Amino acid sequence: MGLIGAVCGLAMIILMMVDGFETILQPRRVTHRFRFARLFYRGTWWVWRAGALRIPAGKRRNAFLSFFGPLSLLGLFATWVVGLVLGFALLHAALGTRLHTPDATATAWSYVYFSGSTFFTLGYGDMTPLATAGRVLAVVEAGLGFGFLAVIISYLPVLSDAYSRREIAISLLDARAGSPPSAAQFLRRAAQSGDADAVESMLGEWEQWAATLLESHLSFPVLAYYRSQHDNQSWLAALTAILDVCAILLAQVQERTTYQAQLTFAMARHVAVDLTLVFKVPPCPHAAERLPEAEYAALRSVLAEAGLVIAQDADAEARLAELRGMYEPFLQALARRFLLTLPPMLREDTVDNWQTSAWVRRTPGIGQLAKLDPADEHFD
């Protein structure tokens, strides 16, 4: 029994340490099948997602879902700590570590309490090891606990910084493409501004944002569960808008098929494909149509009215459908996984988040302010 306890304790310590190293310190995607953090998030998200689906769609469901990212991170940290404490307690029990205790004999609870106080370096002194092996193991646990907690604390600012950099670009899309962001709105507003070079410049910025998104979400997959400040914005909606804009430019707009659009499209699609691999979600080839035939004609009309030169050849629609088929199945799969909504390609409503608040709304095209009820579900 002592040998079994020692093996189980050592295996638990190694498992927690390796998983913590892969999650916090290793800036590379972990590809092996068994990974504790992956199983933890798969199980807890399944339960949390099932609870969210019982809440009617809207602000309350989004608020409930927004708690999962931070709480799951704290839960994962707590699981690691408990695993390490129990692992060292099993080692002490297997070695038969003699403890100076207020009680006559050391019990299982005594070993757990001693392991916990040692791991957190509490230093109460009410329990101390009497043999050399126990003292060495206590020193090892104290040093490991001190370092492990320091690494966890240093991990949080890195995660917060990655989240902030992701959200800055999402917020900038509000005035450029609306909320939720729409490819048609972005191209129309850019064309009406008269600054043709601005489109290519922003495509370059989006390429950088997509590359940052890929790196951060591969290194820290928990970021995918962190939701944006507004319910009508998300990292997936921004990624979708980027791909939609590039697809339209490459397939529908003449004289705007730039090399930068190709680069941005390639990078953004790379993000969509790799994230489905990371989260083990297969693409959805038969998802709902995002651009029906009637909206396709309306999209071309909107772009033409904005002053863009629209391709008139018979293959334009087929080119757009082919490009959309390269990324939409992956985006639909991610939307189902995280209970996010993909934005439309064509959006006529032009009220953006910057034009609204809980107290007033700017009427599209008029500029008048109307008082609103702060409890209105339209606002978040």
CATH number where 35 lies? 1.10.287.70
Burial of 297 (0-12, 13-18, 19+ CB in 10 A): exposed
Tokens for 153?
């604390």
Q: What is the pLDDT of residue 317?
A: 86
Q: Cα(272)–Cα(334) distance, rounded to whole angstroms?
A: 8
Please check whether residues 255 and 364 belong to one and the same domain: no
Of 154, 170, 186, the residue at which a domain comes to its end is 154
What pLDDT, on the 0 to 100 scale, is given for residue 365? 47
pLDDT in tens, 205-261: 999 999 999 999 988 899 999 999 888 889 999 999 999 999 999 988 876 667 889
Do 187 and 149 have their domain in common?
no
Is residue 256 one of the residues assigned to a domain?
A: yes
Residue 276 lies in a domain: yes
Residue 130 backbone dihedrals phi, psi, to 5 degrees: -100, -25
- Same domain assignment for residues 128 and 241: no
Kindly report the average pLDDT of the chain as a whole number. 84
Q: How far apart are CA 259 and CA 31, in angstroms?
A: 33
Task: Return all residues near 314 (Cβ < 8 A) that are at least 6 apart.
Answer: none
Amino acid type, 16: M
Q: Could you tell me if 14 and 31 lie in one domain?
A: yes
Q: Is residue 171 included in any domain, yes or no?
A: no
* pLDDT for res 374: 44
- Give a yes or no: residue 285 inside a domain: yes
Residue 271 lies in a domain: yes
Closest Cα partner for 232 from 347, 359, 154? 347
76 and 125 in a single domain? The answer is yes
Residue 65 sits in the same domain as residue 111: yes
Look up residue 359 and give its two tokens. Answer: 């107290």
Same domain, 20 and 146: yes
Q: What was the pLDDT predicted at 378? A: 43
**242 found inside a domain:** yes
Do 192 and 104 sit in the same domain of this protein? no
* Residue 332 Cα distances to 240, 284, 335, angstroms: 10, 6, 5
> What integer pLDDT is reported at residue 314 of this predicted model?
78
Specify the pLDDT at position 104.
63
Q: Which of 120, 154, 188 is the last residue of a domain?
A: 154
Supply the pLDDT for residue 29: 67
pLDDT of residue 235: 95
371, β-bridge pairs: 360
Same domain? For 130 and 266 the reply is no
Q: Which domain holds residue 364?
A: 350-380
Please indicate, yes or no, whether residues 74 and 103 belong to a single structural domain of this protein: yes
- Residue 114 within a domain: yes
Q: Tokens in use for 103? A: 């009680």
Structural domain count, the chain = 3
Q: Choose among 201, 213, 308: nearest CA to 252.
A: 308
List the chain residues with pLDDT less than 50: 363, 365-380
* CA within 13 Å, CB half, 317: 11
Contact by Cβ (8 Å): 120, 91 = no
Q: Whole-angstrom Cα distance, residue 180 to residue 352?
A: 8
Residues 202 and 149 in one domain: no
309 part of a folded domain: yes
Q: Which of 205, 281, 219, 310 is nearest to 23 (CA)?
A: 219
Answer yes or no: do 202 and 238 share one domain: yes
In the block, residue with structure tokens 């951060």: 216
